[in-house]
């Protein structure tokens, strides 16, 4: 029997310094209150435990979980184009993306505007896709779960940028509240914390030069 059980993800063996990382969070507006709790958990872990600068966390929203892979892929590509142009700017060239509104899908309460600062010229080092799927009475849940998990994996493998699967796939709302640390009994654990930690660790792994 384990006396002291660490809920969630065990910390990495060595400190994970995220101070030079830029992270994208894409979250759904379905099941919004629970999703917001998970987003806050991910931000908290990255900023407070791993020194990620708040201005380097960009938050965008999509309607539902099914839209997460497309948004992750699109926003990742745009950030990579911007980063390439950032290098061009140093040589006096004009940005092809100037004037493009990258925050068009953002939820006003949580969004960090995509400014034309130096930080916004850095491509994302990792993406966290956050959503909550709750089973209903039809097969919809099964189809969406399968599509979203496969889609998120594909974006990560195709792009070479880690994409964290921050989607709760729950049978009941109580399960979802518990896994967002929002249950009445206070016995749950906010999985957003694990996703934030995982994003930093995987981003550093992506950037590692052997």
Residue positions annotated with a catalytic role = 140
- Pairs from 102-111 (Cβ < 8 Å, separation ≥ 24): 102/75, 102/78, 103/60, 105/60, 105/61, 105/62, 105/71, 106/59, 106/60, 106/61, 107/27, 107/29, 107/59, 107/61, 109/36, 110/27, 110/36, 110/39, 110/59, 110/61, 111/58, 111/59, 111/60, 111/61
Which of residues 67, 125, 194, 201 is near ligand DLZ by CB under 6 A? 67
Question: 128-147: which residues touch ligand DLZ (CB under 6 A)?
Answer: 131-134, 136, 140, 144
Choices 27-35, 105-113, 156-164, 195-203; region in contact with ligand DLZ by CB under 6 A = 27-35
Choices 19-27, 37-45, 62-70, 95-103; region in contact with ligand DLZ by CB under 6 A = 62-70
Nearer to ligand DLZ by C-beta: 57 or 130? 130
Question: 29-58: which residues touch ligand DLZ (CB under 6 A)?
Answer: 30-31
Listed residue (60, 58, 50) closest to 199, CA to CA: 50
86 touches ligand DLZ by CB under 6 A: no
- Report residue 1 CA to chain centroid gap: 35
66 touches ligand DLZ by CB under 6 A: yes
Nearer to ligand DLZ by C-beta: 21 or 62? 62
Binding residues for ligand DLZ, total number by CB under 6 A: 15
Which parts of this chain interact with ligand DLZ (CB under 6 A)?
28, 30-31, 63-67, 131-134, 136, 140, 144
């Amino acid at each position: 029997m384990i006396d002291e059980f660490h809920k969630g993800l065990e910390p990495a063996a060595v400190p994970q310094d995220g101070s030079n990382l830029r992270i994208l969070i894409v979250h759904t507006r379905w099941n919004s209150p629970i999703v917001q709790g998970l987003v806050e958990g991910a931000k908290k872990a990255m900023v407070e435990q791993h020194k990620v600068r708040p201005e380097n966390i960009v938050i965008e929203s999509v309607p539902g979980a099914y839209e997460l892979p497309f948004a992750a892929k699109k926003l990742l590509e745009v950030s990579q184009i911007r980063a390439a142009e950032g290098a061009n700017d140093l040589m006096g060239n004009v940005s092809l993306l100037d004037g493009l509104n990258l925050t068009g899908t953002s939820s006003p309460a949580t969004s960090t505007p995509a400014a034309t600062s130096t930080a916004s010229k850095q491509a994302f080092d990792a993406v966290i896709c956050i959503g909550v799927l709750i089973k209903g009475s039809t097969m919809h849940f099964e189809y969406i779960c399968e599509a979203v998990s496969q889609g998120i994996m594909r974006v990560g493998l195709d792009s070479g940028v880690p994409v964290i699967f921050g989607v709760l796939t729950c049978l009941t709302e109580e399960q979802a509240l518990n896994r967002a640390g929002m249950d009445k009994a206070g016995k749950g654990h906010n999985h957003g914390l694990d996703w934030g930690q995982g994003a930093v660790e995987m981003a550093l792994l992506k950037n590692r030069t052997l």
